[in-house]
Structure 1
Amino acid sequence: MLARHAPPIPRSVLSLDIGQRRIGLAGCDPLGITVKPLQPLQRSLFHLDLARIGEVCSKRIIHGLVIGLPLDKNGNITCQAYHCQRYGLRLARALGIPLAMVNEHGSSLEAAALHGLYGDRSGRLDSAAAALILEQWLREGPELELIRSGKLAKFLEAGDHNNQHRAGYQS
């Protein structure tokens, strides 16, 4: 006899492909059936980025964030992945919504190949990569963690000073 699983809770989620200059955005419908790249954001000061992402979350009635981590080919954290992780944790905590993180190794190359966006500097490539990140998260069995508790909160509170120093990150 097959085990019965409860259907997933309907919720709209926002995926972010966090770069140094831009943040690619993608969203899905509450059932996770359709994924759509959204208008990318030009990076600015954190509080300005937070305000703009907060507007998107309010407008789309977002119930969770998915952050892509650009791990290396062996699955190890890179300097950029560390920055993305910290940025995503800060966003989720400030917005008060749950967060998930996925390995996005190669997502920009895949998005460029799928959409013919090689050399794109408009941000369309970043949002196409965010869409791939969201599709991957939906396929892998979506889970979100509220940052106020759990292991992501402990990471954020600990500050992980060794990684900060190695990555050259300043909070």
Structure 2
Amino acid sequence: MISVLGLDIGSKRIGVAGCDRTGLIATGLTTINNKSFVYVTEQLSQIVRQREATLLVVGLPYTMDGAKGTQARRVQKFTKRLAKALSLPVTYVDERLTSVEAEQQLIAERRPTVKDKGLIDRRAAAIILQQWLDRSRSEL
């Protein structure tokens, strides 16, 4: 049994994804408005408790040339505080282009994405988590 949360952390919203108990399939759960650290921590701690999560998988937005830019450092700083507040370990996944991929998937499913940025964030979080799940399985 596995319970891991995937996070797509942005300055306005945080996409949250979870996986099934077998660790095979990631799905978007919700989007949290990133209004304050306390608010985000409260919202995530409820999800962590409900799902009995044991790990956070966070998308790290490297620059296109693979460097850690300002945004990646900001995400890491935020994530370190979050992991401490939630008492959970963290691992990172390269999230370059996941939002683009999420939007393309939703368009392919004929789901309107223009107005629902939260839906894109949730889908991006699911893509991040799915990448980690797939990689973890292949390493076993």
Q: Does the TM-score normalized on the shorter chain lie above 0.5?
A: yes
Amino acid at match of 2:126: A
Deviation track 1:89-116 (CA, whole Å, cap 9, x = no partner) reads 1111111111110110000001100112
Q: Aligned to 1:33, which of 6, 20, 24?
A: 24
Instruction: Tell me the distance in 2 between the aligned counterparts of 1:107 and 1:137.
Output: 13
Deviation string 1:6-53 (CA, Å, 9 cap, x unpaired) is xxxx32000110011100010002321121101101111101110110
Aligned match of 1:13 in 4, 20, 24? 4
Pick the aligned partner of 1:75 from 66, 69, 76. Answer: 66
Check the 8 A contact 1:13/1:30 in 2, yes or no.
no
Aligned residues: 133
Bigger helix fraction: 2
In the alignment, does 2:123 pair up with 1:128?
yes
**Contact 2:9 2:58 (C-alpha < 8 Å) held by counterparts:** yes
Residue of structure 2 in register with 1:57 after alignment: 48
8 A contact 2:24–2:134 mirrored in 1 = no
5+ residue gaps, structure 1: 1-9, 143-171
Q: Deviations over 1:67-106 (max 9, x none)?
A: 1011112211121111111111111111111111011000
- Residue 105 (structure 1) aligned to one of 96, 105, 125: 96
Identity level (%): 36
1:131-161 deviations in Å (ceiling 9; x for gaps): 000011112227xxxxxxxxxxxxxxxxxxx
Structure 1 match to 2:133: 138
Helix, strand or coil at the partner of 1:53: helix
Q: TM-score, normalised by structure 1?
A: 0.73
Separation of aligned partners in 1, 2:97 and 2:117 = 19
Please give the root-mean-square deviation of Cα atoms over the aligned residues, in Å. 1.4
Separation in structure 1 between the aligned mates of residue 8 and residue 136 of structure 2, nearest angstrom: 19
Letter of the structure 1 residue corresponding to residue 36 of structure 2? L
The range that moved more, 133-142 or 66-75, is: 133-142
| TM-score (ref. length: structure 2) | 0.89
Corresponding letter in the other structure for 2:133: L
Distance in 2, matches of 1:35 and 1:119, equals 23
Partners of 1:67 and 1:102 within 8 A in 2: yes
1:59 alignment partner AA = Q
Moved over 6 A (4+): none
| Offset of residue 120 of structure 1 | 4.0
- In the alignment, the residues of structure 1 paired with residue 117 and residue 99 of structure 2 have an alpha-carbon distance, to the nearest angstrom, of 14
Q: Distance in 1 between matches of 2:69 and 2:113?
A: 23
